[in-house]
A and B are shown apart, each in its own frame.
Chain A
Amino acid sequence: MSENNMEATTSTPVAAPEATEATDGAQATSIRRARAPRKPKKNQIPIGMLVVLGMVVVGIVLASRSSNLGFFWMTGGIFGFILQKSRFCFTASMRDPVISGSTSVTRAVLIAFAVTTIMFTAIKYGAASMGLPIPGSSYVVPISFATVVGAFIFGVGMVIAGGCASGTLMRVGEGFTMQWLSLLFFVVGSLIGAAHFGWWKENFIVHGPSIFLPDHFGWMGAVVLQLLVIALLYRAAMLWQKKKMGTDE
């Protein structure tokens, strides 16, 4: 597969910023080799415009039925767009440190956690200080052996499937056909899990302690504690990458 003989020219370096170490010597810095011309890409922008228009119409219809539905439709669309464009991936955040030693996605997730910690505390504290029920309290569920088992199964599954829940959905939309299969079995697995949930609940979940940090440390203490843990994890992620890859960028 050596279809290159356009080396010699030392002019016009188009190299990547990190390019050319001493080992490169005098050879050309562009690494692109001659290749057959390609068929032109189809322009997707008109289709994209139509899809956006369609989404707006559907959003208006939904909002006229219930303002919540319209809001969910909008945030869902925005979330998917950002997820796709940023290539944000929870799977990679847990997997890449082990496989390649890179923790850049891990640190991105930690930053996201830090931001949501602050925002959710603001929402919850706002409600609590006005004497309203704290939103999202139903998600404060007991920690038990079921958490460990579930996390382990989910971890194995997401690495094999090449994406977590949000990542799989995003790539289904992108048109990565293998992940359509993932989605199918994601649904199958969820159904099996739902069918067995009663057993786990009876035997493990009800015996576990349920912890809401502000109850134990106060609102300020909970935020500080959580941010501190995130900061330590961030530092650990940097050191891990430094050790594995020799750079902590």
Chain B
Amino acid sequence: MAEFALDCLGEACPVPLMKTEKKMAEMAVGDVLVVNIDHSCAMKNIPEWARKQGHNVEIEEVDDGEWEVIIEKTK
């Protein structure tokens, strides 16, 4: 039940998504990953990818134009 953070601030699409995919692959089921992003495109494709993979996803806008995507690995 560990929580990991992934800092993708300043990274343009698709780098955040690819980093997230990599990080998720090495996590255990039940772990949570918090991805920090400020590229609006990643705000769309990371949650979409994660939901289609079947993970639980929440998005939080922590500042104007800055988001945290919280992903719980479910499988």
- Chain A residues near B (Cβ < 8 Å): 1-4, 7, 15-16, 18-21, 23-24, 27, 29, 31-33, 38-39, 41-42, 44, 84, 87, 89, 91-92, 95-96, 99-100, 102, 104-105, 159, 161-163, 167, 171, 174-179, 245-247, 249
Contact = CB atoms under 8 A, between A and B. Distances in A.
Given A7-B1, A33-B32, A162-B39, A100 B45 contact: yes
A211 B3 CA distance: 57
A19 B50 CA distance: 12
Contacts of B75: 21, 23
**DSSP class of B's interface residues: helix, strand, loop or mixed?**
mixed
A100 B12 contact: no
A1 B58 contact: no
Given A21-B75, A92-B13, A171-B39, A41 B5 contact: no
A234 to B, nearest CB: 18
Contacts, number: 112
Interface of B: 1-5, 10, 12-14, 17-18, 21, 29-30, 32, 38-41, 43-45, 48-49, 51-54, 56-58, 61-65, 70-72, 74-75
Contact of B41 (A44, A89, A246): A89
A31 B45 contact: no
Nearest to B5: A1
A210 to B, nearest CB: 35
